[in-house]
Amino acid sequence: MEIIRFLDDNGKPLKDPPFEAEELIEGYKALRRARFFDEKALILQRQGKLGVFPPIRGQEAAQVGATLALRPTDWAVPSYRESGVALTHGLPLTHLILYWRAHPAGWRFPDEVRLLPFYIPIATQIPQAVGLAHAAQYHGEDWVVAVFIGDGGTSEGDFHEGLNFASVFNAPVLFVVQNNGWAISVPTSRQMKVPHVALRAQGYGIPGVVVDGNDLIAVWHTAREAAHRARNGEGPTLIEAMTYRIAPHTTSDDPKRYRDEKEAEAWLRKEPVKRMQNALKHLGLWDEERERALLEELEAEFQAALEEADRTPEPEPWEIVEHVYAERTPDLDRAWKALGGPA
């Protein structure tokens, strides 16, 4: 299958970008912001100020590019790794920090941010995303849904059930698969016989496309076209973003035990942030001074969010059962009382 690209491995444009200059600059800023948070989150985790964290280094363009194609009224349905999606779709930085601290104040996202919680189980978000999209049709709403998953999740039954339902009912969904070559310690070749996840779309009668997942412009453009089709009632699209997670699976993982680090080094040379930065320089839209100013802005934003998170009062033990159901079940009520919850 053809792999959609707008940039070469070094960021040199292969053809004219389908975006205005200011859009490209804003897109790069969103990309750099996702990388900046990822770098800071790793430091906080090693300092014991964040829980286990799934880094995204290398996958930023696949996440940010697909999310840039959404409107604020569209829904994003993330897996546990989608910090870049959350930030780009409007989740406040303080919320994201509190979420990864497992603080109850970070569990509920603001109502105006159309983002479902991070799904830790693999692929369970797919049927729910399709149901959300089907609800848009049922209620005559015009939102589309972008659901994110790794290549390993495409081996789960929920993935296939979701694609089948979306296909039959023409649900307005973008299935965004980040194929990073590994599902923890298992390579893609042990997960599927076909060379591309996108080929599976044929079995459901929907479009399947492969895009260079480290090329922000290519992902953004492809997702925008898919969202346009969905809004026009033309149904779902399966987007396979070919990328590579240079960082470990989580901060508890040691990828050196199962992958050759020379492989990671090769992908480092075409990682998405530097590539997009080079693209802007080729187009005469960016320089080192603007980069320094952006980093200072991101540092100030992060420090303000971190200070706000630090000021959030420590949760009470009983809060762990407070948000499970609207009304506590007998078991939860016993737990509530045992943890000292107020009567």
Catalytic residue list: 245, 249, 258
Q: What angle do CA 130, 132, 133 make, to 5 degrees?
A: 65
Q: Which of 252, 259, 289, 270 is nearest to 11 (CA)?
A: 270
Structure tokens at 92: 């406040």
Rg of the chain over Cα atoms, rounded to whole angstroms, equals 20
Euclidean distance between CA atoms 282 and 188, whole angstroms: 34
Q: What angle do CA 126, 132, 134 make, to 5 degrees?
A: 105
126, 145 contact by CB (below 8 A):
no
Euclidean distance between CA atoms 2 and 209, whole angstroms: 8
**SS3 sequence of 164-184:** HHHHHHCCCEEEEEEECCEEC
Q: Where are the alpha helices (DSSP H) in the chain?
A: 21-46, 60-68, 83-88, 93-100, 125-139, 157-169, 216-231, 261-268, 272-282, 288-311, 330-338
Angle between helices 60-68 and 272-282 (to 10 degrees): 60
Euclidean distance between CA atoms 69 and 76, whole angstroms: 11
Dihedral (CA of 66, 71, 77, 83) sign:
positive
CA end-to-end span of the chain, whole Å? Answer: 62
Please give the backbone phi and psi of residue 258, each rounded to the nearest 5 degrees, phi first: -135, -10
Strands 145-150 and 75-77: parallel
